Structure 1
Amino acid sequence: MPRIRTIALAVVRRGGDLLVSTGRDPVTARTFYRPLGGGIEFGETGADALRREMREELAVEIDGVEQIGVVENIFTYAGRPGHEIALVFTADLRDRSLYDRDVVGVVLDEGSPVGWQPCASFRDGTERLYPDGLLELVARHGNGRPPLRGA
């Protein structure tokens, strides 16, 4: 039986760029981008889940974790329906040298590339950011944190 999945996502910014993983739907062959994060386990706060997921997915530590909103995502991936409730947090990478690299690494458990993507490419429709509604949430909270770059 399908169920709703609760996840935590990290909005990590470098000026006008977002830190995202690159995905590709195997059915539609469409490329998309998504912030790092993942499922919240029973008894775990969203912020704690985000810290754990960032360690598991990219082997990085984060600071300044602050919830900025919630996005509901009803979607189809690989020909199957999905439904997520995403707690969205801003965060900073503890390792400041990662802000100077365009390619940050890969998602350790599945190999998707991770790097910085300009928000402008999502706004103009050149690239697709998931979940839907995330870009608007980021835009509303974009001035609340200084853009980080380097140490």
Structure 2
Amino acid sequence: MDLVFVKGNQCFNYRAAAVCIEEGHILLNRGKEEDYWFLPGGRVQMMESGAEALRRELKEEIGAVLHVESLLWIVENFFILDKHQFHEIGLYYKGALQGSSFIEKGGTPFVIQDQQKEFLFQWIPIEQVKHLNIQPTFLQNRLEQLPKYTEHLILRQ
């Protein structure tokens, strides 16, 4: 069971995300119909750690094994999406992928069909991230120089 709770127009979401940087590129994804990018990952399930959830999600989504290296950010994110007020707890891990070579660095997006919609995965040059619509927006300025120690951020957008 995913750790997401909805009450009226308010939603609590517990999510884990992977910061995978290889050869000066970062792996990002977005819904095919969406205009913003985000880090790959997904919802944490009941009785699952954030790192376990992240490994499961990346195996399901792109068939790659993720080696989780360190926890970069714990983010309390408050935002509005699709007329819902979100309170999201996000764990952002630095990780390295094994078995992801099918996604060409700097190449065209790789399309994954989910149960409900299509997602595009793409390795994007890290210096281009600051020019993208990426969510949460703090990532625009934080991905080029990752923190040495875990940071706790509170974002209200």
**4+ residue runs of structure 1 moved beyond 6 angstroms?**
none
Cα contact 1:69–1:87 (8 A) shared by 2: yes
The aligned counterpart of 1:86 is 90
The aligned counterpart of 2:15 is 7
The aligned counterpart of 2:31 is 23
Quote how far apart the aligned CAs of 1:6 are.
1.1
The question of 1:130 aligning with 2:135 is answered yes
Quote how far apart the aligned CAs of 1:106 are.
2.6
- Gap runs ≥5 in structure 2: 1-6, 150-157
The aligned counterpart of 2:57 is 53
- CA distance in 2 between counterparts of 1:114 and 1:99 reads 8
The aligned counterpart of 1:107 is 112
Instruction: Work out the percentage of aligned pairs sharing the same amino acid.
Output: 25
Quote how far apart the aligned CAs of 1:15 are.
3.0
Q: Report the TM-score when normalising by structure 1.
A: 0.76
The aligned counterpart of 2:37 is 33
CA RMSD of aligned residues (A): 2.6
- CA distance in 2 between counterparts of 1:79 and 1:3 reads 10
- CA distance in 1 between counterparts of 2:16 and 2:120 reads 19
More strand by share: 2
How many residue pairs match? The answer is 138
Query: Greater CA deviation, 68-77 or 129-138?
Result: 129-138
- Gap runs ≥5 in structure 1: 145-151
Q: Report the TM-score when normalising by structure 2.
A: 0.73
- CA distance in 2 between counterparts of 1:100 and 1:23 reads 19
The aligned counterpart of 1:147 is none
CA pair 120-67 structure 1, distance change in 2 beyond 3 A: same
- CA distance in 2 between counterparts of 1:135 and 1:15 reads 18
The aligned counterpart of 2:3 is none
Indicate the SS of the match to 1:112: strand
